[in-house]
Amino acid sequence: MSEHISSAYDRDLEEIQALVMRMGGLVEQSILSAADALAARDLELAEQVRAADKAIDTLELQINDEAARTIALRAPVSKDLRSILTVLRIAASLERIGDYAKNMAKRTGTLVDMPPINGSDKALRRMAREVQLMLKDVLDAYVRGDAELAEEVRQRDHEVDQMYNALFREFLTFMMEDPRNITACMHLHFMAKNVERMGDLTTNMAEQVIYQVTGSMPEEARPKGDKTSFVRTPE
């Protein structure tokens, strides 16, 4: 945004972006905490994730209000208008990622009494860590207006999808091996799907950043990574 001479609009936008970054920081923390709470069966940490989700929701409402106020007051056009509309989309994606973290935390309380499923907590933690790093980078790309970094994040979602595909097959196998695993695997599988969806949302954010910086959506289609819709039998 260096080509601009600083204006009232720029100051408004910077203030809103500061709120987005604060929101992003909370969401990053929630992703990791949700996975940690599961791995340690830590109900207090799970409760913190649920409380953080309220703060995240409040920030989104605040961002929406500030953005509407800025549009009404400054009547931005072209690139400035695009920037403010992008803020709304980024905040909406962050809110949804926070929701998925909250959903993971809710299931942790249920899983406490169930037998752990061989290595799946760690695998979920790795997935969550990967998504949190993607989110961190996409937020950096957003404030810096760095389309290249956003494109890199977009490509990385493929790895998250592959981790999810592997887990899906593992859960099917564990369920078939022992029916007593079925309920736990259903919940764990939902958590894995939540993390996979977080990766998708982070990818959407990367595409929004690319759109804001370059003025057009990325052309090259992203390889579709979640192939589990087509899984027939576990290998």
Q: Which stretch binds its own copies (CB under 8 A): 101-109, 115-123, 124-132, 142-150?
A: 101-109
The answer to whether residue 235 forms part of the interface with its own copies (CB under 8 A) is: no
CB of 71 to its own copies, least distance (A): 6
CB of 202 to its own copies, least distance (A): 16
Rounded to whole angstroms, how far apart are CA atoms 173 and 103?
Answer: 24
The answer to whether residue 85 forms part of the interface with its own copies (CB under 8 A) is: yes
Q: Which is nearer to its own copies, 122 or 180 (CB)?
A: 180
The answer to whether residue 106 forms part of the interface with its own copies (CB under 8 A) is: yes
Q: Which stretch binds its own copies (CB under 8 A): 1-9, 14-22, 44-52, 106-114?
A: 106-114
Q: Which of 3, 113, 219, 220 binds its own copies (CB under 8 A)?
A: 113
The answer to whether residue 75 forms part of the interface with its own copies (CB under 8 A) is: yes
